[in-house]
Structure 1
Amino acid sequence: MKLNYIKITFATMVVAVAISSCKKQGFLDPVISNDLNETVTFSDSTRTLQFLNSIYDGLGIEAPPKNIDFAGGFPTASLSDEAEGRFAPAGATQNAINTENLSGRFTNVADGVWTKYFQKIRAVNIYLKNVDAGPLSTAKKQRTKAEARVLRAYYYFILMKYFGGVPLLGDDVKDESAPFDILRSPYGDCVDYLSKELTEVAPLLPVTYNGIDYGRVTRGAALSLKGEILLYAASPFFNGGGTTDDDRQIGIIGYPTADASRWQKAYNAFTDVINMPGNPYSLEQYTTKPGDGFYNLFLKRSNTEYVLANMQPANKNMERYLLPPSCGGTGSGQGTSTGFGTAAVSTFERFLDVPSQELVDAFSMKDGKNIFAAGSGYNPNNPYVNRDPRFYYTVIYNGANYMNNTTRAQAPIYTFLGTGQTADAFNTTGTATKTGYFGRKMCDSTVTITLGANTNTCYPLIRYADVLLMYAEAANEVGQTGIAMTQLKTIRNRAGILPGTDGNYGLMVNPSQDQMRKMIMDERFVELAFENKRSFDLKRWKLGEAKLNGPLTGMKIQRIGNTGSNYTFTRVPLTQTRIFTFKSYLWPIPVKELGNNLDFVKNPGW
C-alpha cells in the first residue's frame, strides 16, 4: 500500500459535519483552518480538539441516509432485500454492485471506502503521536486518546465488514515519502487487536456525557463495539465459512476453521454492556400510542437508546431522502456530502430507496403472528391493517395518511396504478416508486420539506435495541435460548405488539435453537430496517446466495373502478435481476494496492 494512498493533510483536516448538543451547539461545530500543521495544531488546545473532532466526522460515512458517502453517496438498503433504488441514475452504482459488475462506479465506491477509512485511521495515529506534548490537561489527554482509539477501532471494523482482514498500522505514522509495504493481516489478528484495544480503553471513558460533549464516544460505545466485532467473528461466514481454494486467502478473509466458542466471547462482551453500572441505556418508551417509543426515539437528539450516533444539526435529511413527491421528497438530502467531498446538489439528487415487498412481508400482525401463519388474520385484499405498529413508522403504503406538502394537512398517499393515479404511483421506471411503497423511518410525520421546523434527527450507528438483539443472538448460540427469548419480548413490548394471553408477543413457545435463530433474524429485519444493518447481516450469516439472487418484489395496486377504496394487489418482480455469488461476500481490494505490491492478497473471485 502506498502511503500517499492513505494520505491525509492538515490543510484538509477540517470539521466537515456539525454535531450539535441539546443547545444547538456541539463539540463538532464547523471550524475551517488552512494553516494547520503538527506544530501549530498540537501546541494549541482548541486546535488539538478540533483535530480530534474532525476524526469524528468519519462516523457520517456509514450513517443514514447515505450510508456510503462516496461517488455521490447512496443508501445500503438497496444492497439488501429491504429496498430497491428508486431512480435509474441513483441505481447505477447499486446495480453494478448487485450484479457483480466491476464497473467504474463499483470500483470508485470500493476504493473510496478503503481510502477514506484509512485516512481516518492515520489521523488517529497522528493525534496519538502528538497530543501528549500539547497543553491539554492530563485527564483530558487520557480521555481523548481513549476516544480516538475507539474511533480507530470502529473504522477498522467497517473495513473488515467490507474487505475481511486488512493491514494493521498500529500507532505508526510513516513519513509520506517512506516505503509502505504493510500487507493484510489475518482476520483473527484483526479481531484480537480490536478486542484488546477496546478492552483497554473502555474503563478510561465516561459512562455518559452532557451538554456540549454529548455525542462523544462513551464506555458503552466501546464495549458494544467490542461485542459487535466478536459477534461478526463468530458468525457463519467469518467463522470458518469463508472457504476458498487459494491458500493465500485462507485466514485473511475469515477464520480458517469454525469454533463455536467464539460465540461465548461475544455473549460475554454484551453481558458487560447489559450489566454496566448505572444502567445508562434503555429502550425509549411512550404510552400515547402503540409503537410511539420506536417512532419518537429517532426524533430526539438525546435519548436513552443511542449508544453511538452520528450527531447532526437540525435537519430534514430523512424527509428529503425518503418521502414521496407529494410530501416534497426529492431523494437529494441537503445537496452536499455529509462525509467527504463538496459536490453540487445535482450529484446527490435522487438517491432514494423504496421498501421492498420482502420487507413489508417481514412485519408481523399486531399480535406478533407471521402474516403467512395459519390463523394470523392477514387479508391479502386488505394487507396493511392490524400490522406490527413498527410497520406504520417504517413504510408509507397505499392509503397511508401523511402530511401533504401542498395542502399542509394530513392526506392519504396513493401509490395505486391506473385510473386516477397520482404522482406517487407505482411506476417501473422509478419516477415515483418501483415497489408501491415509500420509506418513512426516522421521519417526523408533522414535517414536509416546506412545512414545519427542522427535526432533531441524528443517525444511529449502534442503539440499545441492536445491542439487545445481538445479545440475544449470542445467547441463543451458547445454549441460552431463554435469555434470547427475554430480549425479543422486550423489543416487541416496546414495539407495541400485543402480548397475548400467554405473554409471548406472538413468538413461538419453547423454540429450538434453530427456530430461535430464525426469529432473531426476522426481528432484526424489521426493528433495524434502513439502519445499515441488513446487508451486512445477510453476509455474515452467509445467506447472500439465498436472499440476494434474482429480483426482489413489489406490490402493484390497481383501483377497482374510477373511485372508491377497493383495490387489487398483485405481487410483481422488480426489473433488476440481482446476482450474488460467493465473491460478493467481500468487496474487491483496490487495484492500486494490488498493483503496488504483488504480495498483497486480493479477495476471492475478484
Structure 2
Amino acid sequence: MIMKQINVNPIRTFALKLAVAVLPLGPALVSCNEKELLNPVPDTSLQDAFLFDTPERVLGQVNGMYAALKNGSFLGGRYLMLADIRGEEFINRTQNVFTGYDAWSHTVTSGSNDASSAWGTAYTAVNAANLIIDGLAEHPDAVPAATAAQYLAEAKFVRAIGYFNLITRYGQPFTKDQGASPGIPLRLKGEKTPANNDLARSTVAQVYAQILADLEAAETDLPLNYSTALLNTTRAHKNSAIALKTRVYLNMGNYAKVVEESKKIVSDTAPFTAATGVRHALQSSIAPVFTTNFTTVESIFSMPMTALNLISGQNSLAYIYNQNVEYNLNPSGILGDATWRATDTRRTEFVRVSGTLSYLKKYNQTNPTLDYVPLIRYAEVLLNYAEAAAKMGDLQKATALLNAVRKRSDATYEFPASATATADALVKTILIERRIELLGEGFRSNDLTRNLLTIPAKGSGGLSAPSIAPTQPEYIFPIPNSELSTNKLL
C-alpha cells in the first residue's frame, strides 16, 4: 500500500500516535474488506470515529493521558533528573550528553537533546489532555455525566502539571517580573493535524493563569478518593489538585494563597494530616515510602512502574543515580552540610558510599527498575506551607512544620535558635531542609530559579560547570529547534 507522505511536526506526531495507541482491537478493526484496505481511515479520523464510542474506549484515553505523563523523557524520569543536576548537588562523571551532561554543564542549546526531550513529551501529554477535553464535549453521551465530569477534571489536572513543568523550564521565573516575560505557546485545543502548528508565545503570567484555572476546575470535580491505595497514588483526586496549587503559588511568590491552600489539607497542629479526602500524612519512617510501599498516604501523586511497563535505561532515575552511577553526590553540596547528620534516616537509607564517593540510592530497585517516581509528596506540601508561613511572619507555624519533616528522620535534632529566630533565617533553614528531604526528586533548580538565586558553580577533577546568574540566558532552557522549525510565530 502506498500512502501519501505528509510533513508533520514531530511533537504533534507523538500526540497523534498516543491518541490511537490505546484503541482496543475490536471487530471494527479486524473485519476489513478490500475496499477498506485500499481506502484506509486516516489515523487522525480515529478520534471522532471510534475513541469516544464506548465507555471502555474513553477510559482508555484517560489511561493513555496518564501514560503520556510517565514518558521516560518527561515525568517518568529524565525531566526530574535534569531539574536536579542543574543545581549543585551532583557531580557528573561521564560527560555523556545522553544522560544530561549539557544540562549539568549549562551548555544546552536549541539543538540539544536536553532542550527537546521534555518539550516534545510534555506537549504530547498536554495534547492528550486536550483531546479528552474536546472529545467529551463532542460526545456528551459517551459516559455518564458524573464520569465525564471526573474525566474532564483529571484532564485539566494533567494539563496543569504539564504546563507547570514546561513554564518553569522554558520560561523566566514568575517572580522576575510578575510573569510579564514571554512564556511558551499555550495550546488549549486537541491537535489532530499540523494545521495549527503556528502559535505565538503567551506570557508567563498567562500560562500560570491557565494552570490555576485548570486546577480550580479540577479540584471541584475530582473525587475525594478512589477505592484503592494504588489509585489514590496514581490518579488525580481533590487533594492532588490542592497540593499542586501550593507548589504553583509558591513559584509565583503568592504566599498568602500557599497558606490558604495548605490549610485545606494540613491540620492546624501536629501530627499534621489531611482532614478530608485521602488522609495524607507523613509516614513514621521515610524509608518505606521509597523502598517497600509506594502507595502510602504520604505519596499524593506518583508515576507507577510494573515489570511490563517501566522506565529503564538512560531515562531511569535508578539507572542514572544508582546503577550506572552517572552522577555522584557533590561533597560540597547538601551532602556536606553539617546539619544533615550521619544518623539521619535520609542519609543512612538513601546515600550509598563506594570508595571515596557517595551516590544517591533513593531509587534502589535497579533490575528491573520498579521504583515509583514521586511527583507530589506530603512532605513537600508541609515544606511549601512552612516557607510561605515564614515569609508571612508566622514563625511558630513555620517552625512546627519544619520540625515535623526533620524529626521524622532525625528525631533528636534541635535547630539552633539562630536558624529559626527571624523570617530570613527560617526561610534559609527551610530551603536547606528541602535540599535534604527532596534530594533527587526534581526540585533543586526550580527552588533556585523561583527565588532568583544564582545556580552555583560545581565540579570535580577535570569536569566543572560555572555559576549561572538570573541575568544570563542559560538560566532557562531554550525552545528547541523542533518547535522553532515548525512554528512560524516564534
1:102-251 → structure 2 map (5 Å cutoff): 102=108, 107-132=112-137, 133=139, 134-164=141-171, 165-170=183-188, 172-174=189-191, 176-211=193-228, 213-214=231-232, 215-234=234-253
- Residue number in structure 1 paired with 2:474: 584
Q: Classify 1:476/1:304 alpha carbon distance in 2 versus 1 (closer, same or farther; 3 Å).
A: same
Asked whether the 8 Å contact 1:300–1:458 carries over to 2, the reply is no
Deviations 1:300-340 (A, max 9, x none): 132010111111226998xxxxxxxxxxxxxxx7448679x
Matched, 1:437 2:349: no
Mapped to 2, the partners of 1:468 and 1:13 lie a distance apart of 37
Deviations 1:464-496 (A, max 9, x none): 000100111111111212211111111112113
Q: Classify 1:510/1:176 alpha carbon distance in 2 versus 1 (closer, same or farther; 3 Å).
A: closer
Mapped to 2, the partners of 1:14 and 1:353 lie a distance apart of 38
Mapped to 1, the partners of 2:386 and 2:73 lie a distance apart of 24
State the 1:355 CA deviation. Answer: 1.3
Mapped to 1, the partners of 2:222 and 2:150 lie a distance apart of 6
- Residue number in structure 1 paired with 2:32: none
| Residue number among 310, 321, 326 corresponding to 1:352 in the alignment | 326
- Residue number in structure 1 paired with 2:262: 270
- Which SS does the other structure have where 1:42 is aligned? coil
Mapped to 1, the partners of 2:402 and 2:364 lie a distance apart of 25
Mapped to 2, the partners of 1:14 and 1:74 lie a distance apart of 29
What amino acid is the match of 1:55? M
Mapped to 2, the partners of 1:468 and 1:315 lie a distance apart of 34
- Residue number in structure 2 paired with 1:281: 280
- Which SS does the other structure have where 1:577 is aligned? strand
Deviations 1:426-453 (A, max 9, x none): 5xxxxxxxxx112211437xxx85xxxx
- Which SS does the other structure have where 2:302 is aligned? strand
Asked whether the 8 Å contact 2:85–2:103 carries over to 1, the reply is no
Asked whether the 8 Å contact 1:85–1:351 carries over to 2, the reply is no
- Which SS does the other structure have where 2:301 is aligned? strand
State the 1:278 CA deviation. Answer: 2.6
Q: Classify 1:88/1:524 alpha carbon distance in 2 versus 1 (closer, same or farther; 3 Å).
A: same
State the 1:76 CA deviation. Answer: 4.2
Mapped to 1, the partners of 2:369 and 2:82 lie a distance apart of 20
- Which SS does the other structure have where 2:215 is aligned? helix
Q: Classify 1:469/1:363 alpha carbon distance in 2 versus 1 (closer, same or farther; 3 Å).
A: farther
- Residue number in structure 1 paired with 2:395: 481
Deviations 1:514-542 (A, max 9, x none): 10111011000111111111122122222
Matched, 1:491 2:447: no
**How does the TM-score come out when normalised to structure 1?**
0.65
- Residue number in structure 1 paired with 2:5: none
Could you tell me which runs of 5 or more consecutive residues in structure 1 were left unpaired when the two chains were aligned.
Answer: 17-29, 235-261, 286-292, 318-332, 340-344, 367-385, 398-413, 416-425, 427-435, 553-572, 601-606
- Which SS does the other structure have where 2:462 is aligned? coil
Mapped to 2, the partners of 1:484 and 1:12 lie a distance apart of 44
Q: Classify 1:31/1:460 alpha carbon distance in 2 versus 1 (closer, same or farther; 3 Å).
A: farther
What amino acid is the match of 1:588? P
What amino acid is the match of 2:143? L
- What is the root-mean-square deviation in Å for CA atoms of aligned residues? 3.5
Asked whether the 8 Å contact 1:363–1:388 carries over to 2, the reply is no
Mapped to 2, the partners of 1:363 and 1:509 lie a distance apart of 13
Q: Classify 1:58/1:92 alpha carbon distance in 2 versus 1 (closer, same or farther; 3 Å).
A: closer
What amino acid is the match of 1:362? D
**How does the TM-score come out when normalised to structure 2?**
0.79
Matched, 1:54 2:64: yes
Deviations 1:566-601 (A, max 9, x none): xxxxxxx4431202432222100123444555652x
Mapped to 2, the partners of 1:314 and 1:174 lie a distance apart of 32
Mapped to 2, the partners of 1:14 and 1:363 lie a distance apart of 53
| Residue number among 307, 312, 332 corresponding to 2:305 in the alignment | 312
Asked whether the 8 Å contact 2:419–2:426 carries over to 1, the reply is no
Asked whether the 8 Å contact 2:259–2:385 carries over to 1, the reply is yes
State the 1:182 CA deviation. Answer: 2.1
Deviations 1:187-229 (A, max 9, x none): 1121122112211220211222223744210111111112211
What amino acid is the match of 1:160? I
What amino acid is the match of 1:140? T
Mapped to 2, the partners of 1:316 and 1:360 lie a distance apart of 33
| Residue number among 448, 452, 457 corresponding to 1:542 in the alignment | 452
Asked whether the 8 Å contact 1:191–1:230 carries over to 2, the reply is no
Matched, 1:296 2:280: no
Mapped to 2, the partners of 1:219 and 1:184 lie a distance apart of 30
Q: Classify 1:524/1:74 alpha carbon distance in 2 versus 1 (closer, same or farther; 3 Å).
A: closer
Mapped to 1, the partners of 2:150 and 2:21 lie a distance apart of 20
| Residue number among 98, 107, 113 corresponding to 1:101 in the alignment | 107
Mapped to 2, the partners of 1:121 and 1:510 lie a distance apart of 41
State the 1:116 CA deviation. Answer: 1.6
Asked whether the 8 Å contact 2:215–2:245 carries over to 1, the reply is yes
Q: Classify 1:48/1:510 alpha carbon distance in 2 versus 1 (closer, same or farther; 3 Å).
A: closer
State the 1:64 CA deviation. Answer: 9.8
Q: Which is greater in Rg?
A: 1
- Residue number in structure 2 paired with 1:559: none
What amino acid is the match of 1:304? V
| Residue number among 428, 433, 436 corresponding to 1:526 in the alignment | 436
Asked whether the 8 Å contact 1:67–1:532 carries over to 2, the reply is no
Mapped to 1, the partners of 2:308 and 2:287 lie a distance apart of 17
Mapped to 2, the partners of 1:154 and 1:311 lie a distance apart of 17
Asked whether the 8 Å contact 1:15–1:57 carries over to 2, the reply is no
State the identity as a percent: 21
Mapped to 2, the partners of 1:4 and 1:163 lie a distance apart of 19
Q: Classify 1:185/1:150 alpha carbon distance in 2 versus 1 (closer, same or farther; 3 Å).
A: same
Matched, 1:82 2:89: yes
- Which SS does the other structure have where 2:403 is aligned? helix
- Which SS does the other structure have where 2:70 is aligned? helix
Asked whether the 8 Å contact 2:86–2:106 carries over to 1, the reply is no
Asked whether the 8 Å contact 1:314–1:456 carries over to 2, the reply is yes
Deviations 1:265-297 (A, max 9, x none): 222222233255437110001xxxxxxx11111
- Residue number in structure 1 paired with 2:176: none
Mapped to 2, the partners of 1:274 and 1:282 lie a distance apart of 9
Mapped to 2, the partners of 1:522 and 1:186 lie a distance apart of 31
What amino acid is the match of 1:222? A
- Which SS does the other structure have where 1:206 is aligned? coil
Mapped to 2, the partners of 1:352 and 1:113 lie a distance apart of 20
Mapped to 2, the partners of 1:94 and 1:455 lie a distance apart of 19
Mapped to 1, the partners of 2:421 and 2:282 lie a distance apart of 25
Could you tell me which runs of 5 or more consecutive residues in structure 2 were left unpaired when the two chains were aligned.
Answer: 1-7, 30-42, 172-182, 268-273
State the 1:456 CA deviation. Answer: 6.6
- Which SS does the other structure have where 2:199 is aligned? coil
Matched, 1:514 2:430: no
Asked whether the 8 Å contact 1:300–1:456 carries over to 2, the reply is no
Deviations 1:218-261 (A, max 9, x none): 11111111221111111xxxxxxxxxxxxxxxxxxxxxxxxxxx
| Larger helix share, 1 or 2 | 2
- Residue number in structure 2 paired with 1:321: none
| Residue number among 390, 394, 397 corresponding to 2:350 in the alignment | 394
Asked whether the 8 Å contact 2:74–2:121 carries over to 1, the reply is no
